[in-house]
Amino acid sequence: MEKPFTTHHRLLLTGAAGGLGTALRPRLKADCEVLRLSDKAALGAAQPGEEIVLADLADAAAVNAMVAGCDAIVHLGGISVEAPFPAILQANIVGAVNLYEAARQHGVRRIVFASSNHVTGFYKQSETINANHPPRPDGFYGLSKAFGEDLARLYFDRHGIETACVRIGSSFPEPKDRRMLATWLSFDDLHRLVRACLSTPVLGHSIVFGMSNNAVTWWDNSHARHIGFVPQDSSDVFRDAVYARTSAPDLNDPAAIYQGGAFVKAGPFF
């Protein structure tokens, strides 16, 4: 385990009750003096070095209070799956605007924004893409994350707020299927990536794909080398087990053709 170091005094983690928020909560505590946790859902009692502020991202006043006094933000909050557009609109689009505007008002200079591989879900699994490829979202969820990346660009260009748009692949304890052999991001590598984004000297507005050191990959992170993220884990150790419990993909199935997997077939939701 790498030696922890403090990147900021008070760090805000939104979406702290979710799967990735729960994984990052104990890890990020070593990287700041005060970890402020926020979600709509209950977070339990604050532990030493923690603060808890419950807030709905669609509530601008609540978000403003949530951000006050923070030095940097790790923004995992919002809806993380395909869903009806009205819900996506409030949580992921209005919520993102509220967050960035609060950051501007309170002088927050750096944000790690949880974007998604579903921003580019309609590229084929036979392709390798980088941060300069145009978005090809695979649904309303991916569309909302593409909006968030553009919003982050606007607030960097106009207000100097640096953002790492982390296009998270599939972050679970281990890969669940053959697709995840390409997209898997271990929890420890997720933490390494977030910490690199928080601590690199110059971040700017950067797009980085969130993946471990997997032999099979569809994403080229060469444009994000200035961040200093070096993944230490790999899906390769799970390959034999994944192949043993799963069948070969149907190459006529859109979920096996496109990088977004099953998301390219979800919905429509209105």
- The answer to whether 13 touches 28, Cβ cutoff 8 Å, is yes
Is 241 exposed, middle or buried, given 0-12, 13-18 or 19+ CB atoms closer than 10 A? Answer: exposed
| Segment 101-110, tens digit of pLDDT | 999 999 999 9
Is 10 exposed, middle or buried, given 0-12, 13-18 or 19+ CB atoms closer than 10 A? Answer: middle
Q: Locate tokens 């993909």: which residue?
A: 249
What are the residues whose beta carbons fall under 8 Å from the beta carbon of 100, sequence distance 6 or more?
111, 151, 152, 155, 161
User: Domains (ranges, CATH) in the chain?
Assistant: 8-265 (3.40.50.720)
Would you place residue 267 in the very low, low, confident or very high pLDDT band (cuts 50, 70, 90)?
A: confident
Q: How is residue 221 written in tokens? A: 């992170």
> Does pLDDT of 270 surpass 90?
no
For 185: left if phi > 0, alpha if psi spans -120 to 50, otherwise beta; the answer is beta
Q: Locate tokens 């209950």: which residue?
A: 42
Q: Which of 264, 265, 245, 261 is nearest to 125 (CA)?
A: 261
Give the pairing type, strands 8-14 and 32-38.
parallel
The DSSP secondary structure of 183-217, one letter per residue, reads HB--HHHHHHHHHHHHH-S---EEEEEE--S-SS-
Which positions are annotated as active-site residues?
Answer: 141
| Segment 140-183, tens digit of pLDDT | 999 999 999 999 999 999 999 999 999 999 999 999 999 999 99
pLDDT at res. 229: 97
Q: How is residue 183 written in tokens? A: 């997209």
Mean pLDDT of 48-69: 97
Would you place residue 7 in the very low, low, confident or very high pLDDT band (cuts 50, 70, 90)?
A: confident
- The answer to whether 127 touches 269, Cβ cutoff 8 Å, is no
pLDDT at res. 203: 98
- The answer to whether 161 touches 108, Cβ cutoff 8 Å, is yes
Alpha-carbon distances of 209 from 74, 148, 182, rounded to whole Å: 16, 15, 12
| Segment 108-124, tens digit of pLDDT | 999 999 999 999 999 99
The C-alpha atoms of residue 37 and residue 168 are separated, in whole angstroms, by 20
Mean pLDDT of all residues belonging to the chain: 96
pLDDT at res. 102: 98
Would you place residue 2 in the very low, low, confident or very high pLDDT band (cuts 50, 70, 90)?
A: low
| Segment 173-224, tens digit of pLDDT | 999 999 999 999 999 999 999 999 999 999 999 999 999 999 999 999 999 9
pLDDT at res. 247: 93
Would you place residue 1 in the very low, low, confident or very high pLDDT band (cuts 50, 70, 90)?
A: low
